[in-house]
Amino acid sequence: MSDYLWFEGIPFPAIGFEKEILQEARDKFVIRDEDTVILTYPKSGTNWVIEMVCLIQTKGNPKWVQSVPVWDRSPWLETEEGYKILMKKEGPSLISSHLPFHLFPKSFFSSKAKVIYIIRNPRDILVSGYFFWCKTNLVKNPESLRTYFEWFLKGNGTTGDWKNHFTVAQAEAFDKVFKEKMAGFPTGLFPWE
């Protein structure tokens, strides 16, 4: 796994990321009250949600979505390029990130910013990630789905371990709220039943 940039025990692609930016994003970046953050584990549907949020922001007018690249409409906080864009941006920002919560900007926890956290079935993340990473030169090629599966289970996927993207307390709080919101649906519909 030497083809990665390791930061605080988490692997990131070696291209487009710098330790200094990851540290500065966590320690110094200011998330404002009016910002919206789309936070996901990689290959969880981030771009689909960015497209939907951008269309909501423009009241369904596709002109902005069709004329401005997704990385400019919702820059990735942890990447070199995205961080530079966000540092210059004025007004409300739509921010994308794959950072686990313990590496997320400290300023977020005292802001009133809105967060959209996307959770996707890990089997779908695994398959999508495998086919995506096999076609890029951003990380070490997994060579086989079995190899990628082993990396995934060890938490060596980009931005770390899927099951620990949330802290235990955050996962428990999410489960509690989710169960409350889903009360009344037919029994047997959810895996915790």
Taking only the tens place, the pLDDT of each residue in 70-104 is 999 999 999 999 999 999 999 899 999 999 888 99
Kindly list the catalytic residues.
98
In the block, tokens 């981030």 appear at 46
The mean of the pLDDT values for the chain is: 86
**pLDDT: which is higher, 174 or 87:** 87
**pLDDT: which is higher, 88 or 11:** 88
Q: Is the pLDDT of residue 1 over 50?
A: no
Sign of CA dihedral 80, 150, 39, 53: positive
Q: Which of 12-21, 41-50, 66-75, 153-162 has the lowest mean pLDDT?
A: 153-162
CATH architecture of 4-181: 3-Layer(aba) Sandwich (3.40)
Q: Which of 19-23, 36-40, 164-168 has the lowest mean pLDDT?
A: 164-168
Predicted TM-score (pTM) of the model is: 0.81
pLDDT band at 49 (very low <50, low <70, confident <90, very high): very high
Alpha helices in 28-121 (DSSP H): 46-57, 63-67, 70-73, 80-88
Token output for 52: 């939907």
Task: Of 137, 158, 148, give the one whose Cα is nearest residue 7.
Answer: 158
Task: Of 152, 175, 149, give the one whose Cα is nearest residue 162.
Answer: 152
What's the distance, CA 109 to chain centroid?
17
